[in-house]
Structure 1
Amino acid sequence: MFKHLLLAVDGSELSESAFRKALVLARETGARVTAVRVCPNYHVMTYQVEMLEDTRETYVREAAETANRYLLERAEEASAAGVPCDTAYVVNDHPYEAIIKTAEEKGCDLVVMASHGRRGIQGMLIGSETLKVLTHSKIPVLVYR
């Protein structure tokens, strides 16, 4: 059975739901977990309002503080559920790459993540990080919808 689960979290409602379901799986199988949060690099030309308002240093500092605070809350929730939890904050413009690399580096044997269910044109244009992880990962992936 799986011994170390990588839980990809982004703060969305679907991600939170998948995180909690993964904690149940981890507790029942005696596995430990690593929660990973991936944030994009700072870009001068961007569609994200937060980046337009900040200097590079401010954005980098605040993104790290926000992500680490969020991950600490996930670790506390895992601890309360009786599941050992490590955390990882990664900066990468391609979340799927960061998720796979983190899983490999941490020795995880299962990646757990949510699917936002984008379809049609939106799915083609935006792409699905979940689909990219499924396509490129050599580690099994469990997707919660």
Structure 2
Amino acid sequence: MFKRILVPTDGSDITAKAVTTAVQLAQVHGAQLLTLSVMEPFPYSAVSEIQPVPPQEFIDAQQRVASQRVEAVCAAAAAQGMACKGHTIEALHAWEAIIDHAKSEGVDLIVMASHGRRGVAALLLGSETQKVLTHTELPVLVVK
């Protein structure tokens, strides 16, 4: 049924549940597993010329963390005998990057985690998962 499954990762414990689910689904369907970690762009500020961290140091750290997150997902897949294709992308809005990447890679299922916040907390904090659900036409499996 599914041929290409994308599981975005932010390295959190809740995302680990989504990774486990995505690996299992990929095994059952004989699908290709893809993972994505979105990096924040450097917060350039016109207000202050003094930056606490030099831009290249910030960028290198973001790349290192994003690569570790992707490698962790691919390692989880490899432990189950599955191949995994990983990417890191810099984007202002993670949800947009996830949707764009899913489209460009021909993904037919996105597996994402949710903290399960409700009420005012969900309204105020927002959710990358909620934004992906709202803005994509692709199927999204939400793991709590």
- Give TM-score, length-normalised by structure 2: 0.89
Instruction: Pick which of 85-94 and 52-61 moved more.
Output: 52-61
The count of corresponding residues between Structure 1 and Structure 2 is 139
Unaligned ranges ≥5, structure 1:
46-51
Residue in 1 aligned with 2:13?
13
- Alpha-carbon separation, structure 2, partners of 1:53 and 1:13: 29
Residue type of the alignment partner of 2:71:
L
C-alpha displacement of 1:53: 3.8
Q: Does 1:121 find its partner at 2:108?
A: no
Amino acid at match of 2:8: A
CA distance in 1, matches of 2:57, 2:80: 35
Question: What letter matches 1:5 in structure 2?
Answer: I
Q: Can you give the 5+ residue segments of structure 2 that lack an aligned partner in the other structure?
A: 46-50
- Give the letter for the 2:40 counterpart: P
Which secondary structure does the structure 2 equivalent of 1:90 belong to?
A: strand
Dislocated runs of 4+, deviation >4 Å:
none
TM alignment of 1:14-33, pairs within 5 A: 14-33=14-33
- In percent, how many aligned pairs have the same letter? 37
1:18 maps to a residue whose letter is A
1:108 shift after superposition:
0.6
Query: In the TM superposition, what is the alpha-carbon distance from 1:68 to its structure 2 partner?
Result: 0.9
With 71-80 and 13-22 compared, the bigger mean Cα shift is at 71-80
SS in 2 for 1:21: helix
